[in-house]
Chain A
Amino acid sequence: MSTTSAKPRGVHDAPRYGDRIFAGAATGAGVIILLVLAGVAGFLLWQALPALTASPEDVRGGKGLFEYIYPLAFGTILTSVIALVIATPLSVGIALFITHYAPRRIALALGYVVDLLAAVPSIIYGLWGVYVVAPASVPVATWLSNWLGFLPFFGPSPSASGRTTLVVGVVLAIMILPVMTAVNREVFLQTPRLHEEASLALGATRWEMIRQAVLPFGRSAVISGAMLGLGRALGETMAVAIILSTAVGVHWDIIGTANSSTIAADIALQFPESSGLDVNTLIAAGLVLFFITLLVNMAARWVVSRRSEFSGAN
């Protein structure tokens, strides 16, 4: 008794090992992800350096690194934007149907089907794109060419094989649909019942309630979901490599025979036969893709945070 000094209850020296271990593990995980990211960026920079410093005529294509990469970057962004334009409204619509319109059992089944789409490997989507979507797209492309030919996207001579930027965009849209739908569905389900009832009690129809309570609540999640999808579309390799019949240069015509390739597909197709400076060139292209996805994510975060005052988080 006399040896123990009096201490207030609740104060003791025993170290809380569980706490320390958990804190260490969480910090470690955070540090590792940063190190990996820095490592990837460092590798890309280091490997791309010879191509960055090489004289233009030595780079594949003979006109320099910029001339080689920017059509690929253009093709990457164009196909991804087409995919996003198609998939965003579709995923919002499917998610709303599942959460607010469909009877319970149908909603459940449809949810499973959409999730299943995510499990299909991208090579399968590529084959399906070549053998099903591409032939089916030809009459559509012809119609677009005839009636909307004044737009730069729809050239006068549509591709007969259908292996076009438009088809790649459609296939990419279907590939990114599951993840976007899943994100939207989750957040629409979380719409506070109070807000939905506030809207209904004001005399809102179901659609008006969705516009007033559900969509504003889910807005930032819809954007995040779209960015997730965009990330996948930007980096998609196999489906694009299989479907697209490519040509060097920038091509706005999305239904023609000459299509700009994408960075990821170009790397996959060229890499096996490349050596020396050509490899460095491809890695430089990869570095550009890395920065594009980084920019997209930062832009998305900015959009989401811009109206955070109104987000309902406060």
Chain B
Amino acid sequence: MAKRIDVKDLDMYYGDFLAVKGVTMTIEPRAVTALIGPSGCGKSTFLRSLNRMHEVIPGAYVKGEVLVDDQNLYAPGVDPVGVRRRVGMVFQRPNPFPTMSIYDNVVAGVKLNSKRMKKSDMDDLVEASLKGANLWSEVKDRLAKPGSGLSGGQQQRLCIARTIAVKPDVVLMDEPCSALDPISTLAIEDLINDLKSEYTIVIVTHNMQQAARVSDMTGFFNLEATGQPGRLVEYDDTQKIFSNPGQKATEDYISGRFG
């Protein structure tokens, strides 16, 4: 279940290029941590390094430590596949598998664990996951239909159902509402609020109202100058960041005088 994440002096590279430098932060369990900052400041890169998706890009690697429950995800011998089963991820654009039905999309991750599962258990899991993603009542009569036939907001909730079906410790969300309309966005935000009782949630967002609405803690990322690596400027309670930030740059950004 929900785990604490300790990031210690993490540098992220794309080949020779240092993209994000020296991030140290503690992400609390059963809470929502929002990462904000201008485009290109490295918040998505940082998010992807928390489940070792960063290194999927050819030439990309990190230096430093990410401890989940005191176990370093980047220790030698740790299998990135195992890491990703414990730290799930929801992407910017909804990406259900287009060739699979709604039902198969939900159990896609579970089937990877190659556990033989009874049909009835599988049905229960699908129902529980879809209920957990607030989607059950909308799709329960068409589970065999393709997931790509749903609306954008429904697809994104389907992706969340798929992520929580494998019962991860942490759920990462990379701008999950940026492709959605306001009503769907509200549905996802409500869902994030429900999910935090069980999961550690880290969300990247460009929408500062959203960060203020859903998160308990907020981290502000910024570039010192063009071409310089991004870094974590300030990390504190969301309330404090938005009412009384400790750094000038943070204040400029959230008040819209910047970027």
Contact = CB atoms under 8 A, between A and B. Distances in A.
Interface of A: 192, 194-195, 197-205, 208, 212-213, 216-217, 219, 307, 309-312, 314
A85 B100 CA distance: 27
Contacts of B88: 201-202
B112 A198 contact: no
A286 B9 CA distance: 74
B166 interface: yes
Contacts of B159: 198
Interface residues of B, number: 30
A161 B79 CA distance: 53
A204 B166 CA distance: 12
B99 A311 contact: yes
Given A194-B93, A217-B99, A312-B98, 18 more contacts: A197-B53, A197-B95, A198-B91, A199-B108, A200-B84, A201-B84, A201-B91, A201-B163, A202-B85, A202-B112, A202-B166, A203-B83, A204-B109, A212-B108, A213-B97, A216-B97, A307-B99, A314-B146
B112 A208 contact: yes
Contacts of B101: 310
Main SS class of interface, A: helix
Given A216-B97, A310-B99, A314-B148, A202 B109 contact: yes
Contacts, number: 82
Interface centre among A195, A201, A212, A312 (most CB of B within 10 A): A201
Interface in B105-133: 108-109, 112-113
Interface centre among A197, A202, A310, A312 (most CB of B within 10 A): A202
A217 B95 CA distance: 13
Interface string B63-87: 0000000000000000001111100
Nearest to A217: B99
A312 B84 contact: no
A46 B175 CA distance: 67
17 contacts: A194-B93, A197-B56, A198-B95, A201-B163, A202-B84, A202-B85, A204-B81, A205-B81, A212-B108, A213-B97, A216-B99, A307-B99, A310-B101, A310-B148, A311-B98, A312-B98, A314-B98
A194 to B, nearest CB: 4
B146 A309 contact: yes
A273 B170 CA distance: 78
Contact of B99 (A197, A202, A203, A312): A312
Nearest to B58: A104
Nearest to B148: A314
Nearest to B113: A203
B12 interface: no
A106 to B, nearest CB: 14
Contacts of A212: 97, 108, 112
Given A201-B84, A202-B85, A205-B81, A310 B109 contact: no
A219 B99 contact: yes
A208 to B, nearest CB: 5
B149 interface: yes
Contacts of A205: 81
Contacts of A312: 98-99, 148
B162 interface: yes
Contacts of A199: 97, 108
B91 to A, nearest CB: 6
A251 B62 CA distance: 63
Nearest to A314: B148
A201 B89 CA distance: 6
Nearest to A307: B99
B142 to A, nearest CB: 12
B84 A203 contact: yes
B109 A200 contact: no
B238 interface: no
Contacts of B83: 203
A200 B56 contact: yes
A246 B246 CA distance: 89
A195 B84 contact: no
Contacts of A309: 146, 149
Nearest to A215: B99
Interface centre among A198, A208, A212, A312 (most CB of B within 10 A): A198
